[in-house]
Amino acid sequence: MTKKESDGVLHQMTCMVLTASLPLPGGLKEPAGMIAGDRPDNQWLQYNSSSLPRTQQDWEGCTFVEKTHWGYYSWPQKLMMYSPSEEQPKQGLTREEMTEREQIIYDHFSDPVFINQLIEFLSLEDRKGKDKFSPRRFCLFKGLFRNFNDAFLPVLKPHMERLVADTHESKQRCVAEITSGLIRGSKHWSFGKVESLWELLCPLLRTALNNITVETYADWGTCIATACESRDPRKLHWLFEMLMESLVNGEGGSFVDACRLYVLQGGLAQQEWRVPELLHRLLQYLEPKLTQVYKNVRERIGSVLTYIFMIDVNLPYTQPTASPRIKEFTERVLLRLKPLMEGDEEIQNHVVEENVEGEQDERTQAIKLLKTVLKWLMASAGRSFSTAVPEQLKGGGLSLIPLHSPLFLYDELKRDAKTCLSLMSQGLLYTEQIPLVLLALQEIAGSSSWHARYTVLTYLQIMVFYNLFTFLSDQGAVNDVRALVIRLLEDEQLEVREMAATTLSGFLQCNFLSIEGPMQSHFEALCKTRLPKKRKRELGSVVDTIPSGGSY
| Reported pTM | 0.83
Q: In whole angstroms, how far apart are CA 365 and each of 288, 304, 333, 371, 539?
A: 11, 20, 12, 10, 43
**In this predicted model, which residue has the larger pLDDT, 549 or 120?**
120
Would you state the pLDDT for residue 526?
74
Q: What pLDDT sits at residue 528?
A: 73
CB atoms within 10 A of CB 129: 7
**Cα(390)–Cα(231) distance, integer angstroms:** 34
Tell me the per-residue pLDDT of 80-108, one tens digit each, with 9 for 90 and over.
788 777 777 888 888 898 899 999 999 99
Mean per-residue pLDDT for 19-41?
Answer: 68
For residues 153 and 197, give the distance between their C-alpha atoms in angstroms, rounded to a whole number: 9
Handedness of CA 528, 532, 538, 544 (dihedral sign): positive
Q: Report CA torsion sign: 250, 253, 256, 258.
A: positive
- Checking if the pLDDT of 484 tops 50, the result is yes
CB 527, CB 496: distance < 8 Å: no
Interatomic CA distance for residues 257 and 298, integer angstroms: 10
Residue 315: per-residue pLDDT? 77
CB-based contact 343:272 (threshold 8 Å):
no
Q: What angle do CA 126, 131, 134 make, to 5 degrees?
A: 105
Q: Give the model's pLDDT for residue 397.
A: 39
Q: Which helix H or strand E contains 336, and what residues bound it?
A: helix 326-336
More confident of the two residues 515 and 14: 515
For residue 16, what pLDDT is reported? 45
| DSSP 8-state class, residue 84 | P
Residue 3 has pLDDT above 50, yes or no: no
What is the structure's pLDDT at 15? 40
- List pLDDT tens digits, range 449-477: 888 888 889 889 999 999 999 999 999 99
Which residues, 6 or more positions from 316, have their beta carbon under 8 angstroms from its beta carbon? none
| Angle, in degrees to the nearest 10, between helices 100-109 and 3-14 | 50
Q: What is the structure's pLDDT at 421?
A: 81
Q: What pLDDT shows up at residue 348? A: 42
CB half-sphere exposure, 292, CA atoms < 13 A: 25
Tell me the torsion sign for CA atoms 539, 540, 542, 547.
positive
Query: Is residue 546 scored above 60 in pLDDT?
Result: no
Instruction: Give which of 230, 217, 211, 208 is closest to 133, Cα–Cα.
Output: 217
DSSP string, 224-265: HHHHHTT--GGGGHHHHHHHTSSSS--TT-HHHHHHHHHHHH
Which helix (H) or strand (E) covers residue 217, if one does? helix 217-228
3-state secondary structure of 485: helix
Which residues have CB under 8 Å from 20's CB, separation 6+?
78, 79, 80
CB 8 within 8 A of CB 99: yes
DSSP code for 43: G
Using alpha carbons only, give the angle 110, 114, 117 rounded to the nearest 5 degrees: 140
| Mean per-residue pLDDT over the chain, rounded | 83
Per-residue pLDDT band for 532 (boundaries 50, 70, 90) equals: low
For residue 25, the number of C-alpha atoms closer than 13 Å in the C-beta half-sphere is: 12
Whole-angstrom Cα distance, residue 246 to residue 163?
Answer: 24
Among 390, 380, 386, 393, CA closest to 316: 386
Query: Looking at 82-91, 109-118, 393-402, 543-552, which range is the least confident one?
Result: 543-552
pLDDT of residue 11: 40
Give the tens place of pLDDT for each residue, 274-321: 999 999 999 999 999 999 889 899 999 999 999 999 888 877 788 888
Amino acid at 136: R
| Rounded-to-integer distance, Cα 155 and Cα 165, Å | 17
Rounded to an integer, what distance in angstroms lies between the CA atom of residue 459 and that of residue 408? Answer: 16
Q: Report the range of poorest mean pLDDT among 96-110, 374-388, 516-530.
A: 516-530
pLDDT(21) > 50: no
**Span 155-168, average pLDDT:** 94
- Mean pLDDT for 143-168 is 94
CB atoms within 10 A of CB 187: 19
CA 472 distance to own-chain centroid: 33
Each domain of the chain, given as residue ranges in start order, spans 412-525
Q: Is the pLDDT of residue 403 over 80?
A: no
Give percent of the chain above pLDDT 90: 46
d(CA 237, CA 234): 5
Taking only the tens place, the pLDDT of each residue in 230-257 is 999 999 999 999 999 988 888 888 999 9
Distance CA 173, CA 330 (A): 39
